[in-house]
Each structure stands twice: as structure tokens, then as C-alpha cells.
Amino acid sequence: MTGEAASRGRIDKRQAILAAAFEVFANRGYAQACVQEIADAAGVAKPTVYNHLTDKETLYRHAVEAAADLVGAECRTAVAGLRDTDRNPEPALRDSAYRLLRICNGERSHALRSLTFAQLASFPDLANLVQDRTSGQLAETLADRLARLSLAGRLRPCDPVVAAEQLLALLTGPLEVRSRLGTRKVSAAELKSIANAAVDTFLSAYGGGTSAPEMA
Amino acid sequence: MTGEAASRGRIDKRQAILAAAFEVFANRGYAQACVQEIADAAGVAKPTVYNHLTDKETLYRHAVEAAADLVGAECRTAVAGLRDTDRNPEPALRDSAYRLLRICNGERSHALRSLTFAQLASFPDLANLVQDRTSGQLAETLADRLARLSLAGRLRPCDPVVAAEQLLALLTGPLEVRSRLGTRKVSAAELKSIANAAVDTFLSAYGGGTSAPEMA
Amino acid sequence: MTGEAASRGRIDKRQAILAAAFEVFANRGYAQACVQEIADAAGVAKPTVYNHLTDKETLYRHAVEAAADLVGAECRTAVAGLRDTDRNPEPALRDSAYRLLRICNGERSHALRSLTFAQLASFPDLANLVQDRTSGQLAETLADRLARLSLAGRLRPCDPVVAAEQLLALLTGPLEVRSRLGTRKVSAAELKSIANAAVDTFLSAYGGGTSAPEMA
Amino acid sequence: MTGEAASRGRIDKRQAILAAAFEVFANRGYAQACVQEIADAAGVAKPTVYNHLTDKETLYRHAVEAAADLVGAECRTAVAGLRDTDRNPEPALRDSAYRLLRICNGERSHALRSLTFAQLASFPDLANLVQDRTSGQLAETLADRLARLSLAGRLRPCDPVVAAEQLLALLTGPLEVRSRLGTRKVSAAELKSIANAAVDTFLSAYGGGTSAPEMA
DNA sequence: TATGAATGAGCATTCATTCAT
DNA sequence: AATGAATGAATGCTCATTCAT
């Protein structure tokens, strides 16, 4: 009991530090963020931060990695509805598209994107890691789903990797513009409109499988 | 004469400083870049930098602005071929798409994108300015062209703003993934493949106006 | 029994800490040595060091004092052979001289010397304590022996304090130079040569007692 | 003029920093000395110290080196009187001995000795450098003089290196004891007594060449 | 008693910025 | 106009020391 409570406390503190770190890094950027501020935000003393995470760099890497994992998981959840190949995929596509946009429009996503770009030069490996665990995995998952839909005759035969890539591009590209890189709030209605426009275009190109064969 | 030569020298020095500044900022990021390094790269003494540009911030703003203007101009040139409404727009689209990708894949573009994201928190206004002068203007120009093509019956009736937005998204989104945010070289062949896939999808959705049947 | 064993364990731990402390202080110097490293070297946790020895300063004092006592005891042993006033003292002198040099050339002696000098400013009293318990006591012991030898007519009448002082100087001075303050190994042969040269000079000045009285 | 004055100012500042640094290092030791204190003592701002001397380590090395050169030069001056081989060397020996003791008893010498020992572990090369430029060069110079005196028949034939080494040992050894490693003031009278005792013993061993009977 | 965890205080170093020349 | 030199303000990191268990 005591042991569990203690280690719980330890873990909580570490989590608190990582969360505070991501928050501060997101607001200030890597270089401008100072460890003292992170410590303050986490409610601990500066050396405690160092005890748990060695370095400003290490702190940054762990904070970013954790955020990337969170976003990645959210994204995978968002496209879960596409697993069903028994139905016309259009409603599921519209739903997933909107869910993805909500995630991408979230603060965490914007911050992650921002930080990743910002530190491209300093931590290129971290950029790759983040991309893999977020858009990379998402694209793969999506490609899998699209491939099955295509096989099931719900989508025209196509390269599922390209299709997934383009669907995502049709979602995130316009969002980036409309949100002005994340500096502007985008209403739910606008998100829906982006999502639907994306799905429309996507289906124009990839829709219409066997049920209404375009004589592929 | 002397006066002109002198002011010419002055201008040259200012340009040299701005160029060096963009280079250094691009390589190190805003905070990590130090004025001394920029001065060294420009071949002048540190106070000279301050004489010309007041501030690190001012220096940054001017350097970024100049780069944005350059990229913006390049982009506008790239889509010049779309002005012609007398022909099937497909070849021009493929050409413009490829040209745009080459620009977006260039070092300057990547650096600009990187820096803009990196300093979102510190200089949000600069982010907007850059976006306006690059993708913003480009999107507008493109929307104009597409509107005329649509009017001319070369494209299906559509919202030209959305169409432009999506075409750009289909180009830049996949490029970003493939180039791993700019850290990886992308071959000309791959660029062409991205461009063609984008145009294919775009034309599936927006192509086929009245006068120019796809069967062409 | 248990009590004894326990207190034995306690004492052992304390000894281990002191030994580790001297080792670490010797290698790093007072300020550069950190308590954590000492704790690690002693195989205990940091607070345990504090439990036993209060302070970094206290720890240092005890460690140095213990080392000084060890060296002091060794030195006294080394000159035991001079107690004999019945024989020509030359062989005993040569033997004692060599033994002293071996001690002074030992790691512990060098470390002690180094640390004492290093912390002159911070702990001047400790410097005096160390000097008293090592060269001080040795000089006194030696002076006693020389006085008796002189009285016994084995040495010319002289001020035994000065004589002892000079004999020690003739030993340690050259050793310090040859060993480059302890950074260089000095061979046994070289030690012997130093010892003999010292005794030669010493006997030239102080040798020749009653057997060939110079009629002081 | 202006240039000279300016560079003069620069040099003066550098000298001031080095002098202040030696002072502070001597009083506090390397690790305990903080650069701010040195800057204050030199009457400059901290970064100025770094501008001139790069590093705390570099600062230390230059300060110590400069002090070593000063002491070395003083020592060489002190034994200048021994160059004369036409006279009985005894008065010159007594004079040089006393002069050397005054130097070795000076604050700078003590500090140099202290610091050298203190940082043996951190900067062993510096220890050697200091020893070479002070006692090393002195011993050589002295050996030269003694060799010539010996050749001139003013001293008994001997190994001049050993003789020099022993003479210096007879001076510095007792001084170190009497001054308690430099923590205690030693009166001029006591210095003279040490010097004379050293010369007495030295001459007992090495004096009495062929041409200059001791009875002189 | 022994220890994992936490902290307050301190220090080297860097950098944007400003004078004096 | 251009520069060498100087500085005030920060910031990463370390370490002796103390709690709570």
C-alpha cells in the first residue's frame, strides 16, 4: 500500500512535470521556455525536474513523445468506424473526417506540429518520430481500411496508400489555411464543411465500387 | 555618383545582412541564432547589424518577409500557365502542379514554413503575413484561374475557392509527408508522381466541364 | 552480542565512509568532490553519510585527520631504528631516511599534502593539525633521537631541532622535485640515492662525535 | 596615439583581470573562487572577463602562469650574486639564501605553491609548468653557479645538481615548517637564521675547495 | 537506522544590446 | 557609417542539505 502510494506519487509527479513541460514548450517554444517556468507550472522545484528528466533536451523529448502518443491514439480511434465493409462507407467517412479535423484542430495537435517544425534543425530524429506516431500511423491505418473497402467493392480499385494520403491532405490542408496555422478558432460548422468537401472530392475520385461499377 | 555608389553600398550591405540572417535563422531557429553569427555570415560587425535593423526581432521580421515575398512571386509564376482558358486545362494543371511542388520542396520554402510554425507563439502576426503572401495569394490566384476555367466550361461548376484550396492541399500535403517535413530529399520523379496523382484526383472531382469531354 | 555486532557494523560503515571520503577528496579535491560520489564509493546512501558525519566539512576533517594519524604513525615507526645510541648511527640513518622517503612518496602522503595545501585558506587550523601530527611529531621525535646521539657522542654537539629539520628537508625537498609534486613515479633506486645524498650531507655537517671530537 | 592609448587600456584591463584573478584564486581556491568575484575585484563586468579569457580554466591558467613567471624572475635575480667566482662564495651564498627565503616567504610564492598543490589532480600539466618556471629554473641556475664555483676551486668537487637541490631544500624545507605552510608570519631574523643554518650545513658538505681555505 | 525524493542557493556561461572611437 | 569593447540580464545545471518513510 505504502509502496504503491509512494510510487504513485512519484509517477504523478513525473506526469505533472511532463504535462507542464509540454504546455510551456508549446507556449514559448523550446529555447524560450526555461526550466524554472516548467518547474513552477508543475508545482515542483527545479532540481526535481532534473532528477526526473536529466536534461532540458530529455525533458523536451519525453514531453513531445508523450503528446505524440496521445494524438496518435486519438486519431486511430477517430477512424475506427471505417472498419465496417458491409455498408456504404460514405457516412463513416464523413464521420471519421470530422473527428479527425476536431483532433487536428485541437490545441495539442497544433502545439505538436508547431514544436516539431520549430525544432526540425535541432532534433530531426524527433520530428520523424512524431510524424511516424501521428500522421504516419494514421495514414497506414487509413490505407488498410481503404484497401479493405476497395476489396469489398465499396471503393474503386486504387492505390490505398495514395488514397489515404490524399484524403488526409484534403482534410489537414484546408484546415491549416482556415485556422491560420492554428492561430484562429475554427467553428464546428466550418470543420464540418471542410470535412464534407474533402469527402466529396475523395469520393468523386475513389468512390463508386462494384455496387455501382463504373466499369473499372 | 558618389552618393549613389554609397547608397548602393549601403543597400548591398543591408541585403547581405538580411540574406545572412535568413540563412542563419533557417539553420538554427530564431532563439538559437545569435546576432554575432549573422554578423559573421554577412561579413560585418555586430553593431552594423543593429545600425541597419534595430533589433533581433526587426531583423527576423525583415528577413522572413523578404523570403516570403520571394516564394510568393515564384508561386505566382508557377501558375501563370493556367491563364489560358482556350485549351483543355489538364496539361497546364500538371505543369503548374509540378512547378509548385518544386518550389514547395525548395530549401527556402521549407525554412520559411519551419520558421513560421516555430515562431507562431512569439510572432503570430508574422505567421499571418507569411501565409498571406505565400499560400494565401497563391490560393487566391489559383481560385481566379479556376473560376475562369469553370466559366469557360473547362471545369465543372464549383466553388473556386474550395477547389483551389483542395488542389493545393493535394499537392502540399503528400509532399510534406514524403519529404518528412523537409528533412528528406524527394526525387523529381516522386514530385511528378505526387503532382499527377493530385491532378488526377482534382480532375475527377472538378474536371469534365461542358466543352471538353474527358474522352479527349 | 547483537549489540556488539550492530555497533561493529556501525563502526565499519563509518570507517568505510571515511576511507571512501579520503579517496574521493584526494582524487578530486575538496570542492570538486561531491558527497554523492563519496556515498557511492562507500556503498551507502547519501543521507547515511550525513547521519554519520553531519557535514561535508566535518566529513573532510575526520577523513583528513585519520589519514594524518596513519601517516604520522608510519613515520614514527620509520625512525625507530635511531633509538640505539650504542652504535655508529650512520646505517640506521640511511635506513630511516629511505623508509621515510618511501612513506613520503606514498599516495596517502601526497594526497594529504595536496589537500592540506589546497584547503589552507578554508581550513587553516586543519593544516596546522595535519602538520603537527605528521612532520611536526616526526621532527620532534627525530630531534629527540639526534639529541641523544649527540649526547652519546655519536654526533657533533648541535641544536637537535635544527638538525632534525634539516635532515627532513634534505629528504623531502629533493623528493618533491623528483616526483614532480607526486605526479611522477620515483624508483626505489632513486629514493635510495636521495636518501644517501641527504645522509652524506647531514653527516658532513653533524657527524663525527666523540670518537673524533672536534672539541666543540 | 589614440590607438596606443586604446590598446594600452585593453592591456591594462587584461592585466587587472589577471591580477585580480590570482588574488581571488589564492584566497579562495580554484573551485570556491567565482568569476563574479574576480570581475568585481578587477572592476569590470563578468562578461568582460570572458571576453578576455574565454573560460574559468583559461583564466586560472593564465593567472597562475603569470605569477609563476614573476616568481621565477625574482628567484633568478636573487642568485645573481653567485656569479662571481673570484671571491670566497660564502657571503654571496648567505645573501642569496636570505633573498630566496624572502621571496619564498612572500604571499605570491605561498599562494602559487598552494594553488599548484590544490589543483594537482585537475591540472597536472600546470603543476609541472609552474615547477619548471620556478624551482626548476632556479635549481638549474643554481647548479650552473655551483659548478663554476667548484671548477674555480671555491667548492669541493661535487655533483652540482644534487648540491643545488640540497641547498634549496635546506632553505625551503625549514621555511615551510616555520611558516606553517605560509599561515604564519616569519620574522626577518628567523629568515636569516634559517638562511645561515642552511649555508652552514651546505658549506660543511660542499665548502672548502682548494684555493680558499675556510679559515679565510 | 537507512534511504528515495525534494529543494534552496549558487555559479559558469551566453547573448542582445549599447558606448566610445 | 562601422567597429572593438563592455555590460545587464538570463538560464541551464549542480550540489549540499533536509524530509518523510
Nearest to D177 among C116, C139, C182 (CB): C139
Q: Tell me: the pLDDT tens digits for B51-63?
A: 999 999 999 999 9
Nearest alpha carbon to residue D112 among D96, D98, D132, D141:
D132
Instruction: Over range C35-42, report the average pLDDT.
Output: 95
What average pLDDT does this structure show over B22-47?
Answer: 94
Tens of pLDDT, residue by residue over C112-130, are 999 999 899 899 999 999 9
Query: Is residue B118 classed as helix, strand or coil in its secondary structure?
Result: helix
**Beta-strand (E) ranges in B63-165?**
none
At residue B1 the predicted structure's pLDDT band, cuts being 50, 70 and 90, is very low
Asked whether the beta carbons of C72 and C34 are under 8 A apart, the reply is no
Q: Does A117 touch chain B (CB under 8 A)?
A: yes
Residue in the structure block whose three cell numbers are 634559517: D194
Mean pLDDT computed over C79-95: 93
Q: Report yes or no: A199 and A97 within 8 Å, Cβ to Cβ.
A: yes
pLDDT at residue C216 tops 70 = no
Mean per-residue pLDDT for A176-197?
Answer: 96
Distance to chain B for A113, nearest Cα, Å: 8
Determine the CATH number of domain D57-206: 1.10.357.10
Question: Touching check for D6 and chain C: CB below 8 Å?
Answer: no
Interface contact B45, partner A, CB < 8 A: no
pLDDT of residue C209: 65
- pLDDT for residue A213: 41
Cβ-based neighbours of C215, under 8 Å, separated by 6 or more: none
Mean pLDDT, rounded, for C31-59 = 94
Fold for the domain defined by D1-53: Arc Repressor Mutant, subunit A (1.10.10)
Fold held by A60-206: Tetracycline Repressor; domain 2 (1.10.357)
Average pLDDT over residues D47-51: 95
Let me know: does C97 contact C146? Beta carbons within 8 Å: no
Tally the C-alpha atoms within 13 A of residue C5's C-alpha that lie toward its C-beta. Answer: 2
Sign of CA dihedral D100, D103, D105, D109: negative
Specify the pLDDT at position B35: 96
Q: Does residue D98 have a pLDDT over 80?
A: yes
Residue A214 DSSP class = -
- For E10, nearest residue by CA–C1' is D34
Give pLDDT tens digits for C149-186. 999 999 999 999 999 999 999 999 999 999 999 999 99
Is residue D91 within 8 Å of residue D99, measured between CB atoms?
A: no
> B73, B34 in Cβ contact below 8 A?
no
Helix/strand/coil for C72: helix
Shortest distance, CA B154 to any CA of chain A (angstroms): 17
Judged against a pLDDT cut of 80, whether residue D3 lies above it is answered with no
pLDDT confidence of residue A3: 44
Q: What is the pLDDT of residue D4?
A: 45
Lowest mean per-residue pLDDT among B64-68, B129-133, C208-212, D44-48: C208-212
B and D interact (at least 3 Cβ pairs within 8 A): no
Share of chain A above pLDDT 70, in %: 91
DSSP state of A116: H
- Asked whether the beta carbons of residue D165 and residue C174 sit closer than 8 angstroms, the reply is yes
In sequence order, which residues have a C-beta less than 8 Å from that of residue D142 and are 6 or more positions away? D79, D82, D164, D167, D168
Of D28, D122, D131, the CB nearest to C180: D131
The answer, for A120 touching chain B at a CB cutoff of 8 Å, is yes
Residues 6+ apart with CB under 8 A from B63: B18, B19, B21, B22, B25
pTM > 0.85: yes
Hey, what's the cell of B119?
515562431
Asked which of A2-16, B18-32, C138-152, D83-97 is least confident by mean pLDDT, the reply is A2-16
* Number of residues written out for chain A: 216
Q: Which chains neighbour D (Cβ–Cβ under 8 Å, 3 or more pairs)?
A: C
Q: How many percent of chain D have pLDDT more than 90?
A: 86
Q: How far is the CA of D46 from the C1' of E19 (A)?
A: 17
b/e per residue D76-85 (b: at least 16 CB within 10 A): eebbebbebb
Give the mean model confidence (pLDDT) for residues D19-23. Answer: 96
What are the residue ranges spanned by the domains of chain B? 1-53, 63-206
Outline where A29-152 has alpha helix (H).
Answer: 35-42, 46-53, 56-78, 90-104, 107-118, 124-131, 137-151
A44 touches strand E (CB under 7 A): yes
**Contact with chain D for residue C196, Cβ under 8 A:** no
Query: What's the pLDDT at C1?
Result: 45
Question: Does residue D201 carry a pLDDT above 50?
Answer: yes
Closest of B69, B60, B72, B70 to residue B123, by C-alpha: B60
Provide the residue type at B149 as one letter. Answer: L
pLDDT at residue B115, rounded to an integer = 94
- Our answer on whether B and A touch (3+ beta-carbon pairs < 8 Å) is yes
On the question of pLDDT at A30 being above 60, the answer is: yes
Q: How far is D77 from chain C (nearest CA, A)?
A: 21
Q: Using a CB-CB distance cutoff of 8 angstroms, which residues of chain B are in contact with residue A113?
A: 117
Rounded mean pLDDT, D19-26 = 95
- Give me the CATH code for the B63-206 domain, please: 1.10.357.10
**Ramachandran angles phi, psi of C189, nearest 5°:** -60, -45
Q: Quick check: C2 pLDDT over 70?
A: no
Contact A29 B32 (CB under 8 A): no
Q: Is C77 at the interface with chain D, CB within 8 A?
A: no
DSSP symbol at B109: H
Q: Which residue of A has its CA nearest to B203?
A: A205
Which are the contacts of C141, defined by CB distance < 8 A and separation ≥ 6? Answer: C75, C76, C79
Q: Would you call B128 and A183 a contact, using CB atoms and an 8 Å cutoff?
A: yes
Q: How far is B15 from chain A (nearest CA, A)?
A: 24
In angstroms, the CA C130 to CA B12 distance is 71
In the predicted structure, residue B6 carries a pLDDT above the cut 60: no
> For residue C124, what is its C-alpha cell?
587553516
Answer whether C40's CB lies under 8 Å from C23's CB. no
Percentage above 70 pLDDT, chain C? 91
Nearest to D177 by CA among D198, D205, D199: D198
Average pLDDT of span C48-53: 95
Task: Determine what percent of chain D is predicted with pLDDT higher than 70.
Answer: 91
Query: What's the pLDDT at C208?
Result: 77
Nearest residue on chain C to D198, judged by CA atoms? C166
Range D71-78 contact pairs with CB under 8 angstroms and sequence separation of 24 or more = D71/D103, D71/D108, D71/D109, D71/D112, D71/D133, D71/D134, D72/D133, D72/D134, D72/D137, D72/D138, D74/D103, D75/D100, D75/D103, D75/D134, D75/D135, D75/D137, D75/D138, D75/D141, D76/D137, D76/D138, D76/D141, D78/D103
Torsion sign across C-alpha atoms C70, C74, C76, C80:
positive
Residue type, D14: R
- pLDDT for the residue numbered A20: 96
Q: Does C47 contact strand E, using a CB cutoff of 7 Å?
A: yes
Cβ atoms of residues D158 and D150 within 8 Å = yes
Set of chain A residues whose Cβ sits within 8 Å of the Cβ of B205: 200-201, 204-205
Name residues whose C-beta falls within 8 Å of residue B104's C-beta, 6 or more positions apart in sequence: B171, B172, B175
Residue B66, phi-psi category: left (phi > 0), alpha (psi -120 to 50), beta (remainder): alpha
**CA/C1' separation C57–E7 (Å):** 21
Q: What pLDDT shows up at residue D208?
A: 76
Which nucleotide in the DNA or RNA is closest to residue D50, CA to C1'?
E13
User: What does the alpha-carbon distance between residue D115 and residue D24 come to, in Å, rounded to a whole number?
Assistant: 11
D to A contact (≥3 Cβ pairs closer than 8 Å): no
Between CA A30 and CA D145 the distance in angstroms is 67
To which residue does cell 588574488 refer? D23
**C10: enclosing H helix or E strand:** helix C2-28
pLDDT over 70 (residue C6): no
Average pLDDT on B27-46 reads: 94
Distance E18 C1' – B49 CA (angstroms): 13
Over residues A204-211, the mean pLDDT reads 78
Confirm or reject contact between D214 and chain C (CB < 8 A): no
**Residues D72, D76: Cα–Cα separation, whole Å:** 6
Q: Cβ-count burial of C2 within 10 angstroms (0-12 exposed, 13-18 middle, 19+ buried)?
A: exposed
* DSSP symbol at B134: I
CA atoms of A71 and A93, how far apart (whole Å): 19
Distances (CA, A) of A157 to A205, B192, C149: 11, 22, 113
The candidate with the shortest Cα–Cα distance to A115, out of A59, A172, A186, A44, is A59
Task: Please state the three-class secondary structure of chain D as a single string.
Answer: CHHHHHHHHHHHHHHHHHHHHHHHHHHHCCCCCCHHHHHHHHCCCHHHHHHHHCCHHHHHHHHHHHHHHHHHHHHHHHCHHHHCCCCCCHHHHHHHHHHHHHHHCCHHHHHHHHHHHHCCCCCHHHHHHHHHHHHHHHHHHHHHHHHHHHHCCCCCCCCHHHHHHHHHHHHHHHHHHHCHHHCCCCCHHHHHHHHHHHHHHHHHHHCCCCCCCCCC
> Which one has a higher pLDDT value, B1 or C44?
C44
Contact B34, B16 (CB under 8 A): no
Q: How far is C112 from chain D (nearest CA, A)?
A: 10
Label residue D211 by pLDDT band (50, 70, 90). Answer: low
Residues of A in contact with B136 (CB under 8 A): 177
User: Smallest Cα–Cα separation from D104: which of D212, D5, D208, D178?
Assistant: D178
A85-90 mean pLDDT: 92
What share of chain B has pLDDT > 70, as a percent? 92
